Amino acid sequence: MITFLEILALLFIVVGVLGSILPALPGPPICYIGMLLIHWSTGAFDGNTLVMWAVVVVAVTILDNLLPIWFTKKFGGSKRAAWGATIGVLVGLFLGPVGVLFGPFCGALIGELSLDSKDSTRAFRAAFGSFAAFIFGVGLKLACCVAIAIPIVKSIFS
């Protein structure tokens, strides 16, 4: 029989996986809470596993916040492009999946063009860097959440 904590853990996993795709929710930390709930419910994970996953979740969260800055600069963008990408993500949330996907690109493009409207090549390169960082970050968070979810689901249904 599935307990209340196990149901709650599954809910945290679902929200965490969605949070890996939607920038407003911190996916990996939410999934980690699901892991803690299972641990408190069944004792399925040992201390080393919990510490290891805590370190991974913190590292992924930090990387996810630094990737847009690194990628935008690596592709020749300015701080305005990085800020534009961030604003683009937030605005994109209100426009559905297409907005979430293309918001960072458009935001970085607008940010870079506001700095130098004549250098569109540089602006497009910076926007692509921001877009690549967003996609890479989503992939990293999603991989982390799925890797946390698999042993949780196994422990509940085995």
pLDDT digits (tens, 9 = 90+) for 112-125: 898 878 888 888 99
Tell me 4's DSSP state. Answer: H
CA 116 to chain centre: 30
Q: How far is CA 92 from CA 35, 42, 98, 103, 137, in A?
A: 30, 40, 8, 5, 16
> Do residues 126 and 76 lie in contact, with contact meaning Cβ atoms separated by under 8 Å?
yes
**Averaged pLDDT for residues 68-86:** 83
Q: What's the start-to-end Cα distance of the chain, in Å?
A: 11
pLDDT at 91 over 80: yes
> Do residues 131 and 108 lie in contact, with contact meaning Cβ atoms separated by under 8 Å?
yes
- Note the pLDDT tens digit of each residue in 15-59: 999 999 877 789 999 999 999 999 999 889 999 999 999 999 999
CA pair distance 4, 135, nearest whole angstrom: 35
**Averaged pLDDT for residues 91-115:** 85
- Our CA angle for 133, 135, 141, nearest 5°, is 95
> Do residues 108 and 84 lie in contact, with contact meaning Cβ atoms separated by under 8 Å?
yes
pLDDT band at 1 (very low <50, low <70, confident <90, very high): low
Can you give the pLDDT at residue 80? Answer: 86
pLDDT band at 63 (very low <50, low <70, confident <90, very high): very high
Which pTM does this prediction carry?
Answer: 0.82
Can you give the pLDDT at residue 7? Answer: 93
Question: What value does the mean pLDDT of the chain take?
Answer: 89
